[in-house]
Structure 1
Amino acid sequence: MTYENQATFGLGTGLYTVPDISSILNLPQPKVRRWLKEYWNNQFAGHHQQPFSSGSGSELVTNFYTLIEFFAFYQLRQEGVTTQKIIKAHNVLSETFETQYPFAKSNIFTDGRHVLFTGKVGEIIKADETLQITIKEVFEPFCKKIDFNKNNLAERFFPLGKDHSIVIDPKRQFGQPVIGTTNILSESVFNLFRGGEPVEVIQRLYDLTQAQVKDAISYHQHAA
């Protein structure tokens, strides 16, 4: 089977180190490193025979889709779905959607016990080998922070939510957090604030709104 979106690392896909993922998703670095090794580079990569990261040590990097999968994985674990069921679902859904990154698709759901996805005719299909139809009240814990393209694949992530201006877009600034539709790195704004510059001065310097400056400050304070 040929999978879409094979692992690539570079322009347009974002470049994320373990500290980057930890900061963006507010997860402990040891957990991120362990998950990347145990699940993506061992379990999932073995199933796909494709790598999910490049480099090693401090130079280990992955791409935007893996970042989103980390977020989805974390949300599923928070909802009480076991690691074994998540791995099983990842493998089944990869084959169903013909993608290496099924958890970066918009039609992933959970009922707290099974990982579910929307079938072609609109039913909710349970992600196991039997693919039995399971009609349940479900919710999308991670879709609220993600924009998806016409192929239902994640293309932008809003770590503070869509009502705030911080955006993770792999097509801008190598996927590092930027402000709104600009290419201004949120870290640049935060560094000025941390250096003692008033919000009003930063606003004028970058031609930003007060809300945008405060979002950048809030995001990096939260990630610290």
Structure 2
Amino acid sequence: MSNDQLIGVGLYTPAEAGKLLRIAPAKISRWLRGHYIKGKYYPPLWTPEISLGDDRIFLGFRDLMEVRVADAFIQVGVSAIRVRAAIEVARDIIGRDRPLSTNRFRTDGREIFLHIVEEDDDGERRELLLNLFRKQFEFNTILDPILKTVDFGSDGNPLAWWPAGRRLNVVIDPARSFGQPIDASSSVPTAVLAAAAKHDGGIRNAALAYDVSETAIKNAIEFETMMEQRLAA
């Protein structure tokens, strides 16, 4: 993959992804590289967006969102085997290589559902959830709270992620700054703003230097401090 092809895709090592997602980098690598358990081989859950022509693992933005949802399912009690099965079934149903990161998934901690909107003969729309394991439609109002921090396009694919919620105005957008965390208003990476406040005379001087608000500098410092604490944990 050339540098031009990386534009709008995002680029993350497992360590960078792990810091953002609070997931062990080794787990991310296993999911995307495949691994053995007790002599049995488990293939990668999917092929990463990024390939630089060697054996290293890199994630694109869609991979980042896919890993985030897969881990969220496992955290609420869905087995990794069921997550793998859901990916395989959903690929066939909606025809996408990374179906978990679309806005059509829901979970109740035991089962995984695919969100379907259909229209009857009278033109009335209704929402259904297809249970991916029982292969039958069920009514449900479950919403996965992690989707609230993601902006989706009209096709249901993720466009941007607010990794600290929307309070700090920090966004990860693969179309801006190669998908690094940025101040949403100025597009300046949070790491740059936080470093400027530390080394260039404080918050006020950093805000003047980068033509951003002092609030943007404070938010960047808070976000980067949170990332450092995750590394230390």
Shorter-chain TM-score above 0.5: yes
- Find 2:90's aligned residue among 85, 90, 93: 93
- Find 2:131's aligned residue among 126, 129, 154: 126
Q: How far apart in 2 are the matches of 1:34 and 1:194?
A: 37
Figure out how many residues of one structure are paired with residues of the other and give that number: 210
Residue 196 of structure 2 corresponds to 192
Give CA-to-partner distance per residue, 1:158-203, whole Å, 9 cap, x none: 1001232111110111111111132211111121233363112112
Residue 136 of structure 1 corresponds to 140
**For the Cα contact (< 8 Å) 2:32–2:44, is it kept in 1?**
no
Question: In the alignment, is residue 215 of structure 1 matched against residue 216 of structure 2?
Answer: no
Residue 111 of structure 2 corresponds to 114
Q: Counterpart of 1:208 in 2: which secondary structure? A: coil
Shift of 1:52: 4.4
- Find 1:83's aligned residue among 80, 84, 102: 80
Q: Counterpart of 1:205 in 2: which secondary structure? A: helix
Structure 1: runs of 5 or more not aligned: 1-7
Shift of 1:25: 1.4
**For the Cα contact (< 8 Å) 1:75–1:141, is it kept in 2?**
no
Query: Residues 37-56 of structure 1: matches in 2 within 5 Å?
Result: 37-38=33-34, 42-45=43-46, 51-55=48-52, 56=54
Shift of 1:103: 1.1
Question: In the alignment, is residue 149 of structure 1 matched against residue 116 of structure 2?
Answer: no
CA RMSD for the aligned pairs? 2.2
Q: How far apart in 2 are the matches of 1:26 and 1:195?
A: 28
Instruction: Indicate the structure with greater strand content.
Output: 2
Q: Counterpart of 2:160 in 1: which secondary structure? A: strand
The higher radius of gyration belongs to 2
Q: How far apart in 1 are the matches of 2:130 and 2:15?
A: 35
Residue 123 of structure 2 corresponds to none
Structure 2: runs of 5 or more not aligned: 36-41, 119-126, 229-233
Residue 3 of structure 1 corresponds to none
Q: How far apart in 1 are the matches of 2:215 and 2:77?
A: 35
Residue 70 of structure 1 corresponds to 67
**For the Cα contact (< 8 Å) 1:111–1:137, is it kept in 2?**
no
Large movers: runs of 4+ above 3 Å? 50-53
- Find 1:35's aligned residue among 27, 31, 34: 31
Give CA-to-partner distance per residue, 1:78-111, whole Å, 9 cap, x none: 2111111111111111111110110110111101
**Which of 1 and 2 has higher RCO (CA within 8 Å, sep 6+)?**
1
Give CA-to-partner distance per residue, 1:94-149, whole Å, 9 cap, x none: 11111011011011110110111211322111112x42112234121221110000
> TM-score, normalization: structure 1?
0.85
Query: Residues 10-21 of structure 1: matches in 2 within 5 Å?
Result: 10-21=6-17
Q: Counterpart of 1:160 in 2: which secondary structure? A: coil
> TM-score, normalization: structure 2?
0.82
Percent identity of equivalent pairs: 22
Q: How far apart in 2 are the matches of 1:172 and 1:179?
A: 11
Q: Counterpart of 1:155 in 2: which secondary structure? A: strand
Residue 4 of structure 1 corresponds to none
Query: Residues 167-178 of structure 1: matches in 2 within 5 Å?
Result: 167-178=171-182
